[in-house]
Amino acid sequence: MSVTKTHYAFMPDGTEVHLFTITNNNEISAGIITKGATLNSFTCPDKNGVMGDIIMGFDSIDNHITSGTYTGQVIGQYANRLCGGRFKVGDTEYQVTQNEKGKTCLHGGAEYSSAVWKAIIIDDNAVELTYHSPDGKEGFPGNVDVTVVYRLTDRNELEINYKAVSDKDTIINLTNHAYFNLGTPAAGDVLDHELQLFCDYFTPTDADSIPTGEIRSVKGTAFDFTETKKIGRDIAADDEQLIMCRGYDHNFCVNGEAGKLRLVAKVTDEKSGRKLEVMSDLPGVQLYTGNFIDGSETGKDGVVLQQHYGFCLETQYYPDTPNQPSFPQCTFKAGEVFKSTTIFKV
């Protein structure tokens, strides 16, 4: 087990960005850069023992700064969407940034994901990153202190622990927006990856990807991943929800009790022989199949990133929760601690 800290790049304002690399006793490693607390790489062997990086992302700071993909970044203060960028905490109404189509708030703007986080090595297999979000930034209430720990175990689990506390009542929804490609992006799209989701329901959306409030059974629909199937099997089905989003870009309701760590998803790629398991204690997960990636960006090793070259499993509270009283809520009182864990196991 080891963690190294090296220089990665400088931001345009001169702030230094560091790269932390955690390596376990199986030679599996995770690279984290302090800009956006980004999971920049996750390198593991294929069925022939050949190492490959399963994170679709970038190898230059410029791309990390300009890309709208949020790849690998920690997203806050509210991951996913808020209708009209508006919500209430108690009796107070807040208007936050409307960074999507001038209407909705997506991923809290780019505050957490564009910040350069402070980071220290806290163990021979863990890095702790911290960020202070000032009251009113992007419109969100509260001075929020956020801590994210990445830990890589010898069981090949990359565990991400989130903690946040605000000095005002506020909403908090944190996730990691890594795009995975178990064959590595150089091998092409992920449509042949086999996916199982431990989710019997999902939350259909309107044309702006805001949940309608319905909790719909996946049974008999293209959204049914309760039995393992290829990501691409039904992606082009004649389903209004899929057509609107050009593929999967939906929140699934994770079976079992939120607050308890449980299996969210299992993914395998027969070609490379790699697999990924996702566990979380959060109520939802966004399956996003890279629908809007369009060949306009070049990723690591010169690979031009095309549609479906990566999939995301963003563990989260459901989108637009504060405006949907029937969803599990994510309003936190001043001083109350938000705590959550997600594990990506290869």
Write out the residues near ligand GLA by the rule CB under 6 A: 68-70, 106, 209, 249, 286, 288, 292, 312, 314
Q: State residue 64 phi and psi, 5-degree precision.
A: -60, -35
Which residue, 71 or 153, has its beta carbon nearer to ligand GLA?
71
Q: Which of 107, 177, 193, 250 is catalytic?
A: 177
Which residue, 251 or 272, has its beta carbon nearer to ligand GLA?
251
Cα separation, 99 vs 76, in Å, equals 14
Identify the three-state secondary structure at position 137: helix
Cα distances from 312 to residues 3, 129, 207, 244, 325, in angstroms, run: 26, 22, 20, 18, 26
Choose among 303, 257, 311: nearest CA to 280: 257
The token pair that represents 111 in the structure block: 């505050």
Residue nearest ligand GLA, CB atom distance: 288
Which residue, 171 or 285, has its beta carbon nearer to ligand GLA?
285
Cα separation, 55 vs 309, in Å, equals 10
Q: State residue 186 phi and psi, 5-degree precision.
A: -60, -20
Q: Considering the complex, what minimum distance in angstroms separates the CB of residue 208 from ligand GLA?
A: 10
Cα separation, 315 vs 344, in Å, equals 11
Omega prior to 77 cis, within 30 of 0: yes
Q: How many CB atoms lie within 10 A of CB 288?
A: 23
Which residue, 23 or 176, has its beta carbon nearer to ligand GLA?
176
Cα separation, 221 vs 15, in Å, equals 48
Q: Considering the complex, what minimum distance in angstroms separates the CB of residue 106 from ligand GLA?
A: 6
Q: Which of 111, 128, 159, 314 is catalytic?
A: 314
Q: Considering the complex, what minimum distance in angstroms separates the CB of residue 78 from ligand GLA?
A: 12
Choose among 76, 80, 167: nearest CA to 117: 76
Q: Are 55 and 44 in contact (CB under 8 A)?
A: no
Q: Is 250 a catalytic residue?
A: no
Which residue, 10 or 292, has its beta carbon nearer to ligand GLA?
292
Q: Considering the complex, what minimum distance in angstroms separates the CB of residue 67 from ligand GLA?
A: 9
Measured over the CA atoms of residue 302, residue 114, residue 117 and residue 156, the dihedral's sign is: negative
Q: Considering the complex, what minimum distance in angstroms separates the CB of residue 75 from ligand GLA?
A: 8
Q: Considering the complex, what minimum distance in angstroms separates the CB of residue 346 from ligand GLA?
A: 21
Cα distances from 233 to residues 200, 218, 224, 310, in angstroms, run: 18, 15, 11, 16
Cα separation, 293 vs 2, in Å, equals 34
Q: Are 186 and 169 in contact (CB under 8 A)?
A: no
Q: Considering the complex, what minimum distance in angstroms separates the CB of residue 161 from ligand GLA?
A: 22
Phi-psi label, residue 320: left if phi above 0, alpha if psi -120 to 50, beta otherwise: left
Q: Is 177 a catalytic residue?
A: yes
Active site residues: 177, 314
